[in-house]
Amino acid sequence: MATVFNGLPVAKGIVIGKVHKYYKEEIEVDTYNIEKDDIERELWKLSKARELATIFLNSIKEKAARKLGPEEIKIFQAHLLMLNDPMLNGEIERNVREERINIEAAVQRSIKNIKERLSSIDNNYFQERIKDIQDVGNHLLNALTGNVRSLHSLSQEVIVLAEDLTPSEITLLDNNYLKGFIFSEGGETSHTSILAKSLMVPTIINAKGILEAVQHGETVILDAVKGIIHVRPEQQLIEKYGFRIEEYENYQQKLHTIKHKQAVTRDGYSIKLSANIAAAKNLEDVLAINGDGIGLFRTEFLYFNQEHQPAERDLFNVFKEIAIKMAPRPVVIRTLDIGGDKDLPYLEIPEEMNPFLGWRGIRLTLERIDLLKTQLRAILRASHYGHLKIMFPMVTSIEELRQAQRIVEEVKSALRQAGIPFDPAIKIGIMIEVPSTAIAADLFAREVDFFSIGTNDLIQYALAVDRNNSKIAHLYSPYHPAVLRLIKDVVKAGCKEKIPVSICGEAGADPLLLPLFIAMRVDELSMNVASILETKESVRNLAYQDCRQYLDHVLKLSTGQEVLNYLTKIRKEDKPLL
């Protein structure tokens, strides 16, 4: 019997495939006593498991080296060293010999003991090693139990099913084998969802209860258009979905026919549609659909899965490649926005009660000037090769902005003195993603070249709703009148000072909000690549004059639900062009 689960589609598409179930928790094993005569046999199993785990780690190390480069493979080298560590192996052997327990239980118990000892040491380095020792323990247990469900070991096309993944875990996946994601938790604007979108694989989040109901290797239909997952589907349903997939692909092909047309309303109002990217490899997708530029390059993803921050040379090479490939189209490079749900172990960010209200974005880089200057030098040097812009995240005060601008000037003058070319007129803008900056947007507008509204954070901070918390996801609404007023006022402040205003949060790709953004006279919407053509189609189907009326009406409504109902009704009345 097929079983159906519902969830929130965050990256559209329909696929049928086998599930690769990924557990982050410790692997469960049975514990039982062994006879004295069995001790050597158990230890022999350990040495075989070490061999297998070594082969496995070497293979993922090679994959990571091909995909990410020499720096990023250090984590696997560290795991290989730990695998043969005398302390770990001594502890396991002691458990087998003295406690007389089976090898699987001895490995699990030893890992637990070592983790407990590490967690009692008040030092970031040792805290970080806890995760490593668990990973190594899991590799050994996987080898002992024949369970090889690591994320890095995908060897056939699968749909990854997990509670959630961290942004850095996603960056290590082998895209060639990735057909889709199903998460039982997660937020629509979490960085995991954002990355899944940039990989352009169908993704459903918040599919409650699915983890318990699906076994590793079972077949599912992942319908990330409707937000439905069919588990163990019958043949008839698979056949029906074959047609649906074909239909969906035809629609995508039709969308491609408008890629060289402008995003302009029926009555001549045009808006730029740019892409949000997280890596240079996303560029091909942007060029394939003829995006108007890069409205947001989230540079933090260049910093994941490494032992230390990337060198200026490496950053420069990435920025230069993007500048050249996109030229003359603009590319907005956002300086490092780490903190919140994006951790970098080597930065040793102290544990915080409220990471999203803590040491994040520009707050962090203004204290770690080395990080900021390295990035700025790389961006400025690359600006010589194309049309780059600099954008600062999480700005909450004019002081922060001015301090950051001073650092840009310092870096520029050092480059000048060294005779290194850069674009002297490079534009500097800020993300508007905190209420204080949105409310005082008129003050900021006088001091920057552009605004980009980060609705993902603006909503969470304005409504005090954690963007990653599925428990309160129903309260996280871009349709809330307070959010819409903030956005409208920011756009107005930008228009008054004649600086362009873009929207680069996920709301920028929401077809329901599109008429409102057009009516507000937003200059640019920057979004995941997969949404650009669909948004273009919607723009071409709208009339600016109608949008003005919709906005007037919406501004009189009192609740997010009323806004949503009204915008849904408007959208239904639209006649699709394709």
Q: List active site positions.
A: 191, 504
- Of 57 and 395, nearer to ligand PEP (C-beta) is 395
Mark 184-223 with x for binding to ligand PEP (rule: CB under 6 A) and - for no binding: ----------x-----------------------------
Q: Encoding tokens for residue 449?
A: 């070249």
Q: Applying CB under 6 A, which part among 5-13, 151-159, 408-416, 453-461 lies near ligand PEP?
A: 453-461
Distance CA 351, CA 337 (A): 17
455 contact, one of ligand PEP, Mg ion, none, CB 5-8 Å limit per kind: ligand PEP
Contact positions with ligand PEP (CB under 6 A) in 503-542: 504-505
| Min separation Cβ 392 and Mg ion, Å | 11
Query: Nearest-CA neighbor of 101 among 29, 28, 34, 41?
Result: 34
Q: Applying CB under 6 A, which part among 196-204, 455-463, 512-520, 564-572 lies near ligand PEP?
A: 455-463
Contact positions with Mg ion (CB under 5 A) in 181-240: none
Contact positions with ligand PEP (CB under 6 A) in 321-340: 337
Distance CA 96, CA 372 (A): 51
Cis peptide bond N-terminal to 328, omega within 30:
yes
Query: Nearest-CA neighbor of 376 among 412, 344, 327, 430?
Result: 412
Mark 408-447 with x for binding to ligand PEP (rule: CB under 6 A) and - for no binding: -------------------------x--------------
Binding of ligand PEP by 455 (CB under 6 A)? yes
Q: What's at 362, amino acid-wise?
A: I
Reduced to 3 states (helix: H, G, I; strand: E, B; else coil), residue 231 is strand
Instruction: Please report the DSSP string for 56-104 in residue order.
Output: HHHHHHHHHHHHH-GGGGHHHHHHHHHHT-HHHHHHHHHHHHHH-B-HH
- Of 138 and 282, nearer to ligand PEP (C-beta) is 282
Q: Applying CB under 6 A, which part among 3-11, 179-187, 450-458, 553-561 lies near ligand PEP?
A: 450-458
SS (H, E, C) 418-430: CCCCCCCCCEEEE
| Min separation Cβ 370 and Mg ion, Å | 23
Distance CA 239, CA 209 (A): 26
The correct pick among 91, 135, 188, 457 for binding Mg ion (CB under 5 A) is 457
Distance CA 60, CA 557 (A): 54
Q: What's at 446, amino acid-wise?
A: R
The correct pick among 454, 494, 508, 560 for binding Mg ion (CB under 5 A) is 454
- Of 184 and 299, nearer to ligand PEP (C-beta) is 299
Distance CA 332, CA 372 (A): 16
Q: Applying CB under 5 A, which part among 46-54, 308-316, 425-433, 536-544 lies near Mg ion?
A: 425-433
| Total of residues contacting ligand PEP (CB under 6 A) | 11
Query: Nearest-CA neighbor of 281 among 507, 508, 14, 529?
Result: 529
- Of 57 and 509, nearer to ligand PEP (C-beta) is 509
Question: 266 φ, ψ to 5°?
Answer: -60, -30
Distance CA 444, CA 462 (A): 18
Distance CA 451, CA 368 (A): 24
Distance CA 74, CA 81 (A): 11
The correct pick among 292, 433, 506, 534 for binding Mg ion (CB under 5 A) is 433
Residues in contact with Mg ion by CB under 5 A are 433, 454, 457
Residues in contact with ligand PEP by CB under 6 A are 194, 296, 298, 337, 433, 454-457, 504-505
